[in-house]
Amino acid sequence: TAIKKELPFYAKQDVLSSSKSVDILCGGDQGQGFFRGAVKIIFRNSQEAKQGSYIVEMGKIRCEKDLFALLKKTVFDEWNDSLHRIKSSPFLQIQKNTDDNNQKEHPYIIEFCSEAPSQTNQSLMCFKVDHLLMASDIAFYAMGLGKVNMSGAWCWLCRLARRQWQLPENEREDVTEEDSSLWT
């Protein structure tokens, strides 16, 4: 399985040719009337030094708050599926776009894939994904963990509310075995 996306960035050939691996940084946040999601691709050489980076906007939706119900109806499922596929794809392949009608606007096509191509060249490059990271505010992180509408009043590891996790362990009520195991 793979994810394909045409990229509007103009990657410098020297950045691509000197890089051996990539880190992928995913994030999202609400601000200025929009909820935005983006992926930053950080190119690294064989000594793991940063060679360059590019930000790819994955989408945005007009909303005043990051309300999960609205995100769920619009972009969340697609983003979530994409993140799961990126996580299970150890390689990022970048290919020059050969479509004459679309090449100027989208000069590269990226594809996250489970196997490296058998051959690479100047038109087809492949990079090992070293790290997949998430950076955002706590609300977006909580949604990514499946803890919708979570706030600082909830434990970030389990499903206990503040009033429960502040109690001594023997006084906590209605705590599942799974949640209890996260505390030991």
| pLDDT higher than threshold 90 for residue 130 | yes
| pLDDT higher than threshold 90 for residue 66 | no
pLDDT at position 145 is 66
pLDDT at position 128 is 92
- With 0.95 as the threshold, say if the pTM is over it: no
Q: Is the dihedral of CA 161, 75, 23, 135 positive or negative?
A: negative
* Residue of higher predicted confidence among 44 and 103: 44
d(CA 48, CA 22): 9
* Residue of higher predicted confidence among 2 and 152: 152
In the block, tokens 């195991």 appear at 181
pLDDT band at 129 (very low <50, low <70, confident <90, very high): very high
Q: Which of 78-87, 89-98, 123-132, 152-161 has the lowest mean pLDDT?
A: 152-161
| pLDDT higher than threshold 80 for residue 90 | yes
d(CA 19, CA 13): 10
Which amino acid belongs to residue 73? K
d(CA 33, CA 30): 7
d(CA 80, CA 85): 9
Q: Which of 85, 81, 59, 80 is nearest to 2 (CA)?
A: 85
